[in-house]
Amino acid sequence: MLGRSRFPRAFLTDQNGGVAVLFGLLLLGVLFSVGMAVDYGRVVHTKTRLAQAVDAAALAAGRALLDGRLSDTDVQEIAERYFDTNLGEGSGFGTVGRPFVRIVRATGEVHVTADANVPMTLTKIAGFTNVTVPATASSRFDDRDIELSMALDLTGSMGGSKIRALKSATNALIDIMLPDVGSETSDNKIRVALAPYSSGVDAGDYAKAVTGQKKQTCTFEREGSNPRGDQSPGPNNYLKVKGDTGIVRNPTCPDGEVIALTSDKAALKREVARYNTGGSTAGHLGAMWGYFLLSPNWGSVFGGDSVPVAYGDRKTVKAMVLMTDGLFNTIGGRNYGDYSPEARESAAWTVETCGKMRSDSILVYTVAFQVSSNSTKQMLLDCAGSPDRYFDASDDEALRTAFTRIATQLNNLRLTN
């Protein structure tokens, strides 16, 4: 009996195993915190993809509505198609519902909403089984024309997955700027030009006009005492080619040609599909060609429907996109190294060219794609002249988002939600 009376008191005061219990409780808390972080990331990723999809749907449907001949059903189908395309296979970690499209013809507005349901993982232990992620976008067009040039980096470092990402992002921008339905009959005249660059720029069909009838199409810096302006090419103003003074013996040109301003969506996409990579980075040449393609001084070079309108045309927005993945390091077709005086000159030349464009009322957008150099990022920010027009894209999805956002701004669509 005495032994039995002592057992309960001994059991109540025994501290053996207390640490294990405390550790278990702490481990449960740690696991819950980790689970919350993981699930939060899943929700954010899904929301980003969903927001991108409804933005693109609203943009495309809003432009299609301008056609005037399309039924509400037609506009809705366009919105759904662009929603699906931009959502893609990597729609996130949730189940995405079908978008709801509301059309207000009286004001020319399109409203798109969609939801995604994201199942939770470790946070289920706290009773959170799923999170509903909503996204809404509304669009309304302003009646104005757009001229957009795109200076795209096709250097060797852009090989592999990078060039695939660039092609995808560029095509997404082209789709928004020039939808399949309504782009030809719209009151808005939208034209896009391409200026791929590496060590030089391939002038393609315009080579004779810009080089003074020389046979080579790969162009470099200009001749004469004023090589940095947008004056029309001519004697003592032509662009240099292989064999000219100051140009390396065997220069590299990008595997892609200049395309002057056009609304021919198929032609633009065919050229983008051809892009391949090689050579080093003469970013100032990309910026200069982006300038030339928008300059009314070059109208006689491009001719026809590719002639840019005059600066200051109140009905037209002119804009350039300059995209790169690294340091500018090349002049005259020669790579002098990332930290050479020539590299600094190329960067300064780029900023100067961007400043001239802005003074001519050209909006300058810059995109850093997986750039690690802070000096390059600062250069691109200086070139844009505003944080709102500079994008730091750390991965493929961010590049596509940057190009989509640029298209949104250029179309002057007001995302009201």
Q: Please report whether residue 13 resides in a domain.
A: no
Q: Name every residue whose Cβ is closer than 8 Å to that of residue 258 and which is 6 or more positions away in sequence.
A: 193, 194, 195, 196, 201, 202, 203, 204, 206, 289, 293
Indicate whether 161 and 84 sit together in one domain: no
Indicate whether 63 and 153 sit together in one domain: no
pLDDT tens-digit map of 70-129: 889 999 999 999 999 888 765 566 788 899 999 988 778 899 999 988 888 777 766 677
Q: Mean pLDDT over residues 268-281, rounded?
A: 97
Placement of tokens 């961010």 in the chain: 398
Indicate whether 79 and 227 sit together in one domain: no
CA distances from 387 to 168, 302, 377 (A): 24, 32, 11
Indicate whether 156 and 302 sit together in one domain: yes
Judge whether 239 and 197 are in contact, CB under 8 Å: no
Domain with 104, as residue range(s), is 18-140
Among 133-137, 208-212, 311-315, name the one with the lowest average pLDDT: 311-315
The pLDDT-based confidence of 28 (bands split at 50, 70, 90) is low
Bridge partners (DSSP) of residue 275 are none
- Answer with the residue of higher pLDDT: 346 or 70: 346
Indicate whether 85 and 162 sit together in one domain: no
Q: Which of 106, 140, 174 is the last residue of a domain?
A: 140
Mean pLDDT of the chain: 87
Judge whether 146 and 362 are in contact, CB under 8 Å: no
The count of domains in the chain is: 2
In one-letter notation, the amino acid at residue 59 is: L
Q: Which of 158, 255, 251 is nearest to 202 (CA)?
A: 255
Indicate whether 129 and 238 sit together in one domain: no
Q: Please report whether residue 389 resides in a domain.
A: yes
Q: Which of 103, 121, 140 is the last residue of a domain?
A: 140
CATH of the domain at 241: 3.40.50.410
Q: Mean pLDDT over residues 3-21, rounded?
A: 52
Indicate whether 273 and 311 sit together in one domain: yes
Indicate whether 158 and 299 sit together in one domain: yes
- Answer with the residue of higher pLDDT: 410 or 11: 410
Q: Please report whether residue 11 resides in a domain.
A: no
Q: Which of 140, 159, 182 is the last residue of a domain?
A: 140
